Amino acid sequence: MGDGDKTFPPLPQSVLFCCDHNSVRSPMAEGIMKKLYGQECYIQSVGVKNDLEIDGFAVTVCQELGVELSRHRSRSFDEMEQWGDDLSSFDLVIALSPASQRRALELTRFYHLDVEYWPILDPTGLGESREARLDSYRQTRDQIMGRLIERWGPARES
C-alpha cells in the first residue's frame, strides 16, 4: 500500500462543499474531489450567495490538474433546493468559509448532519500581477487537495 499502510475512512455517499459565493473555493473542492473519488460519491457545492460567476483564476489553476470548472454554474443554498438537492440528503457538509459554516449549521440544526469546517485560504484579491494571483489560487487549490487526501486517501482507481 505504500502510505505506511494507513487506512482511510470510507467516503461518505454524498458531500456538499460550501463557501461564500460558490465561485472559487467550493467549486474547486467539488471539482478536485470528483477527480479523486468521483465514481464513489455524489459531490456538489453551493455558496451563501451566488452573486458571482465561476472565477477565471479558479478555472485556470484547476485545469492545470485536469479538473474542468468552466461549465460550473454558481448556486446558493436557497437555489439548491429548487434544483432538486435537499440539504438533508447529504451525509457531510464541508464549509470552507466562516459565513458558510454559520449558514450550514443554521440550516442543518434540524437534521443529523455532520458539518465540518476546513479553513481554506480565500485567494480573491491577493497578488498584484496575474502570476502572483495565480499563485494564490494554486495555494488554495493545493490546500483543498491536501485536505481531501489527508481525509480520504489518494485518488481511487476508477
Q: Return the domain boundaries, the chain.
A: 14-152
Q: Contact 141/115 with Cβ under 8 angstroms? A: no
State the pLDDT confidence band at 85, using cuts at 50, 70 and 90: confident
Q: What is the pLDDT of residues 113-152, one digit of tens each?
A: 889 999 999 999 888 999 999 999 999 999 999 999 999 9
Instruction: Give the whole-angstrom CA distance, residue 128 versus residue 144.
Output: 23
- Our measurement of the distance from residue 134's CA atom to the centroid of its chain's CA atoms, rounded to an integer in Å, reads 18
Query: Of 55-69, 106-120, 142-156, which gets the smallest average pLDDT?
Result: 106-120
List Cα–Cα distances, 59 to 28, 72, 118, 148, in angstroms: 8, 9, 21, 19
pTM (two decimals): 0.91
Homologous superfamily, domain 14-152: Response regulator (3.40.50.2300)
**How far separated are the first and last CA of the chain, in Å rounded?**
17
Phi-psi region of 153 (alpha: psi -120 to 50; beta: other; left: phi over 0): left
The 3-state secondary structure of 69-125, one letter per residue: CCCCCCCEHHHHHHCCCCHHHCCEEEECCHHHHHHHHHHHCCCCCEEEECCCCCCCC
Nearest Cα residue to 77 out of 56, 98, 108, 53: 108
Q: In what order do the strands lie in the sheet with 92-95?
A: 42-47, 14-19, 92-95, 114-117
pLDDT digits (tens, 9 = 90+) for 31-42: 999 999 988 899
Instruction: Give phi and psi for 105, each to the nearest 5.
Output: -65, -40
